Amino acid sequence: MINRDDMLELTRRMNPSRNCFARVAGAYMDEEGYDNGTFNIHFGKLSQAEIRRNLELAKAVPFAKTNEQLKDYRFPKGAERQKGMWSLLSALKQAELKDDALLSI
């Protein structure tokens, strides 16, 4: 489970002057869990009002009910690390969330 104090510290830093987000990427889901559209935009291209709105949404995520359902992935060490979720997350980081093909997996 994610430490609540860590999340409070993280969200405290989420304001327009201190934010470190480069990109915003995600999906809109309906009640049944189906994708109703995706977005992937450079954070610097947003207006100040959109930046504030997106930061408020980002602050709410760690404390949302769905956060209780987050998976606790244990990453193996050594050669096994190059497979599975670690590989996907590393590729997303290297692509800086700009590769839509990786985001749709």
CB 98 within 8 Å of CB 23: yes
Q: Give the pLDDT band (50/70/90) at residue 68.
A: low
- Quick one: pLDDT at residue 71? 58
User: Residue 52 and residue 59: Cα distance in Å, rounded?
Assistant: 11
Residues 35 and 27 sit within 8 Å (Cβ to Cβ)? yes
What sign does the CA torsion over 105, 81, 71, 89 have? negative
pLDDT at 66: 63
Q: Report whether 61 contacts 67 (CB < 8 A).
A: yes
Q: Please give the average per-residue pLDDT across 35-62, as a whole number.
A: 82
Confidence grade of residue 19 (pLDDT, cut at 50, 70, 90): confident
With the C-alpha atoms ordered 50, 52, 32, 25, is the resulting torsion angle positive or negative? positive
First and final CA of the chain: distance in angstroms? 24
